[in-house]
Chains A and B, each alone.
Chain A
Amino acid sequence: MINQEKWIASLSIKNTRFSNIKNQINHDRWTNTIPKKNTHNSVHKYSLIAILFVCGLLFVSVVKNETRILQKEINNLEASINVIKYNLDQTIIDNEVITSPENISLLAKEYLNINLASYKRSQIKQLNDETEKFTKINKTKKEKINKEKVKNLSVNIKLKFAKRIEEKKAEIRKLKALYSNPKLVPGEIKIQVANQIEEKKTELKNIYRSPKNVITLEKVGKWSAAQVVKAFLGMPIIPGR
């Protein structure tokens, strides 16, 4: 049997005095501690998880698709690199065959003149000396020819000028003789001058009769351009003023 007294006595008695103030329940304090029950909590929870899951699923699918596309591109590039490598190898082989000594000698036989003469150094020296002499002779020859050419040129030019001077002198003589005696001026020249005077008179008459026909746009343009140039040069626009 348990000795109740013994155990009750062992209980700690701190506040034996009864205090109303202390033991009174603070309602505000305790009501705040009550967990707010949300009846829609589980629905939200599930829908959120489901949305997250679907989003994740879609994300994974998109990533996978992108990876697939990238992988495909990489594979295509690798394949094209392989093709290029293959073509390069083929080209190298072609090059080897084309540049093989056998092929080159065949081509040389066909297209090259291989009958080459060999020369000794002494022969080459002689050749050099001969070429030097040859070039010297050539130089002197050329110089002589040039000098002769120059000489010939001056003589020709002199002759030409002398001829021209003579011709001009003869013309001047004729003119002097003509002006010294105006009666002797030929009748044809007189007729030509009279014709020119007549033409100018008829032109003037036409201008006075119908100026519209005479003054064309082209003439006006030319005239105005001439006036602008005159103004720019400081010349009087209308002569005599």
Chain B
Amino acid sequence: MENKKKSFYFEDYTESEITNNKFNIVKVSLNRVTFLSFIFFSLLLIFSVKIIYLSLSSEKSFYSNNIKKDFVKKRRDIVDRHGSVLATNVILYDVGVRPKLLKEKERKNLLIKLSLLFPELDLNKIRSKLDKKDFFSIGKRLTPKTKDQFWLMGNKAFVFDAKPSRIYPQKNLFSHILGQTDDANEGISGVEKFFDKNLNNKDKINLPLSLTLDSNLQYLIRKELVNAEADFHNIGSGAILMNVENGEILSLVSLPDYDLNQRVSISDNIYINKITLGVYELGSVFKTFTIAAGLENKVINSNTIFKNLKNSLTCDKYTINEHDKLPKNLSAEQILIRSSNIGAVRIAQKVGVEKYRDFLNSLELLDTINFDLEEIGAPLSFKWGKCKLATSSYGHGITTTPLQLARAYAILGNGGYKIKPSILKVKTKSLEKKEQIISDKTSNTINSMLRKVVSLDEGTANFADVKGYDVGGKTGTALKYNSKEKLNTFVALFPASKPKYVLLVMLDEPKPAPNFVYEFSRSEKFPNGYKHKGEIRNTSGWNTVVVAGKIIEKIGPILAINNLEASINF
């Protein structure tokens, strides 16, 4: 007990009395403290409520009252290979009217103001809507300038709704490639649809999606195709320019096209992407594959002579004719240069159905292509037979898309290496080894043959012989299915000595152009060249080749191919 007790004290009477008195005083002061505490607690409560209110209040209430603050990118931009903007986002405005907020006089004033500022508006419709409806839209996707015009009218009945929208500064130029977005800003066609996820990727929202396309080349090619419509009165046309080494597409044009900024529902088939979605019989351009199949299978060489070639041939219900009077004996090379149908049939027969089919399959001409767009056509399937082999050898009764045709020519031109056409620019190409499906020898032989089709007088594509660019190519004239109208195609590889680019030009339903002045370049016979007018033939050589020649002349300097004439003379 003693150990635990630490201290004690004695309290006498007088001391306790004093403390009791003091305790009474403390009691009084304690009441005051309680009162003060109550006040402070009340204050605390008020401040706490205020703090909680401030904490919970939305940040937006502190923003400056500027509608542009809402500008946040919802979708990535699309740019061409040089960084030119092809598709971007802007804020456009929908303007609506609430008639209930207007008095009779105000309604009349509004109609007068609208008629003065926007004469294109239908005032009768607006008047009836003002009487009947609670709310109606007066303008959609308006620019900030037009919206400001409405706003400056100072009418309380106007309701403005800012919406992020997609615009395309190049208008028609890339309409078939870029596609469009819907009101919810989601892709509904073209690149906008195919790369929808990629374009909506919020992590990369400030990085544009780069395409392999070139705006300048696209413009020049489109311009020539538009000019061709005036010269040859074709209802549509298409062109594609591809790098043969990596499959990068530099230009893809399909006419008629449309302004992507104008929202109009297009249902007419004429507006389809003719290069990727259109599936056609492309005619004599297939003869190149027939010769290549013969060379690859070693059943012919370029000098193999085919004797006694008839002018016509019959197989079941099919009658195969020559387009022109040709010599009876032709070498394999001459068959391609002069575009002999019967000669092509004879080569195909030498190759055989299976080998010929396998060869076309290796070039992936008959399957649906894997490409960067939704709008892809599927070649029509058919049963192989002797007659099918015969017609296929010169490009009839066999269908494919122009895109696949261009790819197949690119493979023939690049040494036989498989490529995948692409419009998406990839910074670093994978170092994977390309699969070689055609030998170098066959590729080189075909390239030199194609050059002769353009350069020799008996060739069918002389108008594409643009000096210095060493152009090679093959023409194709085909009748459209169930129609007497033509579909003319020309595929060019240049420079033919070591092709870098393949250019396909296609005219849909061209007409003879007797008023068109054809300019023949200088030759031994005509050292100053000569002009020709009044031509009534409507084959590829007389229209598509002319257009392709003009295109190459224009795009050649941009592509920076060594102009051989210049390099030799310098």
The CA-CA distance from A105 to B218 in the complex, in Å, is 13
Which residues of A, 87-112, contact B by the 8 Å Cβ criterion?
Answer: 89-90, 92-93, 96-97, 99-102, 105
Contact B62 A46 (CB under 8 A): no
**Chain A residues near B63 (CB-CB < 8 A):** 75-76, 79
Residues of A within 8 A of B (CB): 30-31, 33-34, 37, 39-40, 42-43, 46-47, 50, 53-54, 57, 60-61, 64, 68, 71-72, 75-76, 78-80, 82-83, 85-86, 89-90, 92-93, 96-97, 99-102, 105, 120-122
Say whether B71 faces chain A, with CB atoms less than 8 Å apart. yes
Give 21 A-B contacts (CB < 8 Å), ordered by A residue. A30-B9, A33-B9, A39-B26, A40-B26, A42-B33, A46-B36, A53-B40, A57-B44, A60-B47, A72-B62, A75-B63, A79-B69, A86-B71, A86-B91, A93-B85, A100-B173, A101-B218, A102-B173, A120-B565, A121-B566, A121-B569
B binding-site residues for A, Cβ under 8 Å: 7-9, 19, 22-23, 25-26, 29-30, 33, 36-37, 40, 43-44, 47, 50-51, 54, 59, 62-64, 66, 68-72, 84-85, 88-91, 167, 169-171, 173, 215-216, 218-220, 223, 565-566, 569-570
In the bound complex, do residue B169 and residue A100 qualify as a contact, i.e. CB atoms below 8 Å apart? yes
Contacts of B70 in A (CB 8 A): 82
Bound complex: CA A40 to CA B26 (Å)? 7
In the bound complex, do residue A64 and residue B51 qualify as a contact, i.e. CB atoms below 8 Å apart? yes
In the complex, the answer to whether A75 meets B88 with C-beta atoms within 8 Å is no
Chain A residues with CB under 8 Å of B19's CB are: 37, 39
Contact across chains for A89 and B88 when beta carbons are under 8 A apart: yes
Interface SS, B side: helix
Shortest CB-to-CB span from A74 to chain B, Å, is 9
Q: Is the CB of A101 within 8 A of B219?
A: yes
Given A57-B47, A61-B47, A71-B62, A83 and B68 touching (CB < 8 A)?
yes
Chain A: which residue is nearest B24 at the CB level?
A: A39
> What residues on B are CB-neighbors of A92 within 8 Å?
85, 88
Minimum CB–CB distance from A183 to chain B (whole Å) comes to: 97
Point out the residues of chain A lying under 8 angstroms from B171, CB to CB: 102
- Give the distance to chain A from B446, nearest Cβ to Cβ, in Å: 32
The docked-state distance in angstroms from the alpha carbon of A160 to that of B223 is 76
Q: A43-B29, A102-B170 are in contact. List 10 more A-B contacts (CB 8 A).
A: A30-B7, A40-B29, A50-B37, A54-B43, A61-B50, A61-B51, A68-B62, A76-B62, A85-B71, A101-B219
CB distance from A12 to the nearest CB of B (A): 12
B residues in contact with A101, CB < 8 Å: 173, 215-216, 218-220
Closest to B47 in A: A57
In the complex, A83→B72 CA distance in Å? Answer: 10
Q: A31-B9, A33-B7, A60-B47 are in contact. Are A97 and B54 (CB under 8 A)?
A: no
| A43→B71 contact, CB < 8 A | no
**What is the minimal beta-carbon distance from A72 to any residue of chain B, in angstroms?**
5
Residues in B with CB closer than 8 Å to A83 are: 66, 68-69, 71
B147 to chain A, nearest CB (A): 14
Nearest CB of A to B17, in Å: 13
C-alpha gap A101/B222 in the complex (Å): 11
Leading 4 A-B pairs by shortest Cβ distance? A101-B219, A121-B569, A96-B169, A39-B22
CA distance A105 to B219 in the complex (A): 10
A154 to chain B, nearest CB (A): 52
Could you tell me the distance between the alpha carbons of A76 and B60 in the complex, rounded to whole angstroms? 10
Complex Cα spacing A2 to B410, Å: 120
